[in-house]
A and B are shown apart, each in its own frame.
Chain A
Amino acid sequence: MFDTALTWSDLAFLAQGAAMTLAVTAVSVTAGTVLGIVFGVLRVQLGAIWSAPLTFVLDVFRSVPLLIQLVLGNALQSIAKLGWAPFTTSCVVLSLYTAAYCSEIIRGGIDAVPATTRRAARSLGMTWWQDMRYIVAPLATRVSLPAWIGLTLGVMKDSALVLWLGLIELLRASQILVTRLQEPLFILLICGVIYFVISFPIARLGGYLERRWSPND
């Protein structure tokens, strides 16, 4: 019989960690998506040249390791004496990180709507806003949703890095138990299974939507 020192309260501790992972992810993805939509639409409206500064800044968020971004975000809030809790700092940095990727997805989605379709909408007398709301948004959503689901899962996995700022999320909780119980493989396996159980079904859904909505079909 398999023997472990792991108790029910330890499992509850892991569950708390998982809840923290989900909380950070939920806040960051929500805020990041809103920002990402704004940035994405802005980039399309401004055109490549006028949106170059914005594009550059967003690209920086995608080209610098998230861990470094978290450390810098934390240092900045401390310099500015904002007194943010690690949770706030983590969510702010992760939101900007999410927004950088999301704006790329949104831009791709809008660009995928044929110009002729949009012209048809405008020629029917729709305003820019109506065109966006009734024509572009539904079509762009189809193109963007699978990638957005991928992004959400990516942020969920990347949120493990907030442990560096002292937040006890799923991976950090596992590490604490590993140190105490000295059963690294068993505890990490549980941790991995939890990540997998959250991620895999949603990843499958994304893959299904991508296949189903593929423009080639």
Chain B
Amino acid sequence: MLNYTFHWNQAFKALPQMLDGAVVTLQIALLSMVLGLAIALALTAFRLSGNRILSGFATSWVEVARNTPALFQIYMAHFGLGNFGIHLSPYTALLIGIAFNNAGYLAENFRGALKAIPDTQARAGRSLGMTPIQAFRLIVLPQMLRVAFLPATNQMVWAILMTSLGVTVGMNTDLAGITQELNARSFRTFEFFALAAVIYYIIAKLVTLAARLVAARMFKY
């Protein structure tokens, strides 16, 4: 028999505050994805460039992002840069850490997608008189997007879950941060965090659902 009374009312009263936090969470996740996608494109171009230094840089980025914890990457942005006198706010450090992580995984995703499109496709385009750039843009890229899309949406869900790590570097405006502040004031740990879990779950599912709808519209074949 549990000798514990659940106080759900207190948690529900804080719901508007927590939803504000959820907006910040979504904002960081989206921004980190935009940054991550842009960097991943650059890293992919570096890898394909044939330049040793550029491709070495890109490969190092990808391997570090994939072989160290996301929390470590956030710590690097928050504490590590302190060595150079750069003191980032928790928000910025979190954003940079997640963007770094996203870029690494997305670059690997792009590489796989590129491999999945047979050379003969570009060749067929060239034989119709297309320039290499046209063949890439009109034939290879659209097919690559389809292959890369699902893993990219998974990365978006990951980004949302990763934002919760901000609380460990003092972030207090996102969903996890606000929940932790409420918890510190009331000690109703279970109620607040259970509610936060439900909100995270709903956000993750909505993002997945939205991605599926977009995919169904975009990729009809």
Contact = CB atoms under 8 A, between A and B. Distances in A.
Interface stretch (B8-16, B120-128, B163-171): B163-171
**Interface size bucket, A side?**
35 or more
A196 B64 CA distance: 7
Nearest to A80: B2
Contact of B197 (A68, A188, A203): A68
A178 B164 CA distance: 22
B68 A199 contact: yes
A147 interface: no
Given A72-B190, A184-B83, A188-B80, A67 B72 contact: no
Contacts of B204: 63-64
B110 interface: no
A185 B76 CA distance: 7
Nearest to A189: B80
Given A64-B200, A161-B165, A188-B80, A75 B69 contact: no
Interface in B159-194: 161-165, 167-168, 176, 179, 189-190, 193-194
B161 A184 contact: no
B68 A196 contact: yes
B164 A195 contact: no
Contact of A65 (B2, B164, B205): B164
B66 A72 contact: no
B75 interface: yes
Contact of B189 (A60, A75, A183): A75
A60 B193 CA distance: 14
Contacts of B200: 63-65, 68
Contact of B79 (A63, A64, A157, A178): A178
Nearest to B68: A195
B70 to A, nearest CB: 7
Interface string B1-43: 0111000000000000000000000000000000000000000
A191 B72 contact: yes
Contacts of A199: 66-68
A93 to B, nearest CB: 12
A188 B72 contact: yes
A65 B63 contact: no
A116 to B, nearest CB: 27
Contact of B201 (A64, A158, A188, A189): A64
8 contacts: A63-B205, A65-B163, A68-B197, A74-B189, A79-B4, A188-B72, A195-B72, A199-B67
Interface of A: 60, 63-69, 71-72, 74-76, 79-81, 153, 157-158, 160-161, 163-164, 171, 174-175, 178, 183-186, 188-189, 191-192, 195-196, 199-200, 203
